[in-house]
């Protein structure tokens, strides 16, 4: 086992993810990892660094550049009861394995009448703000939220990434795990992770208590929302910030409970606006908590464009602290 993330030193998100995978491989000798350059190289970002040396090339497999082949092989292994961690070098390229994921992995349990589980995690770096352009900046979680049979998570802290990764690997069916690469090495969010820490799928976290409006988000925008909430406090507006962590299953109890308290809701997601998760969440709020709303629900999302290369253009289409702050002020002044 590599150096433990559960010791006393704070770790970043990347280290926390690597440690969770390492510990689960030690815990279950049947577990396998498969992906492009995950063995000798240790992954494009280092998420599997040292694992092939520790567990051998038959458990940490370097695969050809074929996401469809990688996911297909993982499905076969999982059907035989072997937990599998699949790495997408960038989550953008998960589309190359889309058929295997939505038509085979997502439906296997249903099609076999509950007789065949697929214990597999498909994980990879996601998101913009790093100047990666259209092919390395996507948050495409809505594709998989629309596919019954899949679970989808997106942590924002090292502790949550560690705990959710453990829960996802132990889950008997497929989990899509979004890792925001802009958060991988941010020193300001390093954390000490308790030994044996896990985070159950389907539980949100209240990052800031408030009484005037609810801001719901996940992933990188969590930090923009917290910054906006600090600025709102100077305007005597107390915003509650909820980090969903798990999109499916969704913690509707936490969402509706907060809205009953604040009577206003703003949803922020990094993905594009049309058919994004923000819209789905607002629809659910309107269906189940309409009588508690004192203002129309609002959302801040990426514009319906590809993510540009150039930094000013990139920021012009993505959510920012300023955009969230302005939207929240409009919400509370409605």
Report the catalytic residues.
Answer: 136
Instruction: List strand residue ranges (DSSP E) for 20-161, in order.
Output: 32-35, 60-62, 84-87, 120-126, 151-153
Q: Strand pairing partners for 223?
A: none
Q: Which residue has the tokens 């969590």?
A: 222
Q: Decide: 128 and 307 in contact? Cβ < 8 Å.
A: yes
Instruction: List strand residue ranges (DSSP E) for 145-251, in order.
Output: 151-153, 175-180, 205-208, 213-217, 239-243, 246-248
Phi, psi of 131 (to 5 degrees): 70, 30
**CA 138 to the chain's CA centroid:** 12
Q: Which residue has the tokens 């495409």?
A: 140
CA-closest candidate to residue 263, choices 287, 232, 285, 234: 285
CA-closest candidate to residue 129, choices 305, 308, 321, 269: 308
Residue 18: count other Cβ atoms within 10 Å of its Cβ: 27
Q: Decide: 325 and 153 in contact? Cβ < 8 Å.
A: no
User: Quick one: tokens of 97?
Assistant: 């394995």
User: Quick one: tokens of 225?
Assistant: 């929302």
| DSSP codes joined into one string, 84-95 | EEEE-SSGGGGG
Instruction: Tell the burial category of 83 from Cβ atoms under 10 Å away from its Cβ (0-12, 13-18, 19+).
Output: buried
């Amino acid at each position: 086992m590599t150096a433990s993330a559960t010791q006393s030193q704070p770790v970043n998100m990347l280290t926390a993810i690597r440690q969770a995978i390492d510990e689960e491989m030690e815990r279950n000798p049947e577990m396998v990892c498969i992906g492009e350059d995950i063995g000798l190289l240790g992954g494009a970002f280092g998420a599997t660094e040292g694992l092939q040396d520790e567990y051998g090339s038959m458990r940490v497999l370097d695969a050809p550049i074929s996401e469809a082949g990688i996911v297909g092989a993982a499905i076969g292994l999982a059907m035989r009861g072997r937990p599998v961690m699949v790495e997408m070098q960038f989550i953008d390229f998960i589309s190359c394995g889309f058929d295997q994921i939505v038509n085979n992995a997502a439906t296997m349990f249903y099609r076999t009448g509950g007789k065949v589980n697929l214990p597999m995690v498909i994980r990879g770096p996601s998101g913009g703000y790093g100047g990666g352009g259209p092919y390395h900046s996507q948050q495409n979680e809505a594709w998989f939220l629309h596919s019954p049979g899949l679970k989808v998570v997106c942590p924002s802290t090292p502790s949550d990434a560690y705990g959710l990764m453990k829960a996802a690997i132990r889950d008997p069916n497929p989990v899509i795990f979004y890792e925001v690469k802009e958060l991988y090495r941010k020193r300001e969010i390093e954390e000490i992770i308790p030994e044996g820490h896990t985070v159950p799928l389907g539980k949100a976290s209240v990052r800031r208590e408030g009484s005037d409006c609810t801001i719901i988000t996940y992933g990188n925008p969590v930090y923009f929302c917290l910054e906006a909430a600090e600025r709102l406090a100077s305007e005597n507006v107390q915003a509650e910030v909820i980090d969903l962590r798990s999109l499916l299953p969704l913690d509707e109890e936490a969402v509706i409970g907060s809205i009953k308290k604040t009577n206003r809701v703003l949803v922020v997601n990094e993905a594009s606006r049309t058919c994004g998760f923000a819209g789905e969440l607002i629809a659910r709020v309107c269906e189940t908590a309409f009588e508690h709303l004192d203002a129309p629900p609002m959302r801040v999302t990426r514009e319906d464009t590809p993510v540009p290369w150039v930094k000013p253009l990139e920021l012009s289409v993505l959510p920012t602290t300023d955009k969230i702050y302005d939207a929240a002020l409009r919400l509370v002044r409605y």
